[in-house]
Amino acid sequence: MPVGAARPLLIALVLLFAAGVLPCAAASTSDDHFAQAERAHYAALCGARKDLDACSDAVRWSPGDPALVVALADALARAGRLQEAIRDYSRAQALDPAMRGLEAKIKATGSRLNELKRRPKKPAAAPASTEQASAKHYSNADPEAHSH
């Protein structure tokens, strides 16, 4: 191929490459800004509400943030989901081993869980006595016998 013929082809390739990459880079920047805004939004909601839904959403947007994982574990503990809380406290500890207070939270939640396991279950309600059961009897067997 002559050098003169290769030049328009090279220019066309450069233009196609530039047209393909530049919008992608702009979209990536836009996506990064959106994701950053969402992470900040859900982190703020978790910090303000401290409830299970808000903190769960925050951790979905920032799974590597140990403070948010601890907030989620606290919400799980408040909701009585102690095994999940221990799992998330341990996860936060793995993310940031220097984070203070996690070992105490894990131990406290574990002891609460053990206490619940040792506590005797409530007995089932005793069946009604036969006198109470036979005192009133309702039946649809003969609806004309009943007046309304």
Residue 113 within any structural domain of the chain: yes
- Print burial letters for 3-20: b (CB count within 10 Å at least 16), e (below 16): eeeeeeeeeeeeeeeeee
Residue 13, in any domain of the structure: no
Position 45 in a domain: yes
Domain assignment of residue 29, yes or no:
no
Q: How many domains does the chain have?
A: 1
Residue 8 lies in a domain: no
Ramachandran quadrant class, 7 (left: phi over 0; alpha: psi -120 to 50; beta: rest): alpha
User: pTM of the entire structure?
Assistant: 0.63
Tens digit of each residue's pLDDT, the chain (148 residues): 555 566 666 566 555 555 555 454 455 677 888 989 999 999 999 999 999 999 999 999 999 999 999 999 999 999 999 999 999 999 999 999 999 999 999 999 999 999 988 888 776 666 666 566 556 666 666 656 655 5
In a domain, 112, yes or no: yes
In a domain, 134, yes or no: no
Give the CATH number of the domain where residue 49 resides: 1.25.40.10
Q: Is residue 125 part of a domain?
A: no
For residue 99, the enclosing domain spans 34-119
The token pair at 134 is 């036979």
Q: Which two tokens stand for residue 108?
A: 């406290």
- Cβ 93 vs Cβ 107: under 8 Å: no
| DSSP sequence for 41-79 | HHHHHHHHH--HHHHHHHHHH-TT-HHHHHHHHHHHHHT
Mention every residue, 6+ apart, whose C-beta is less than 8 A from residue 102.
Answer: 70, 89, 92, 93
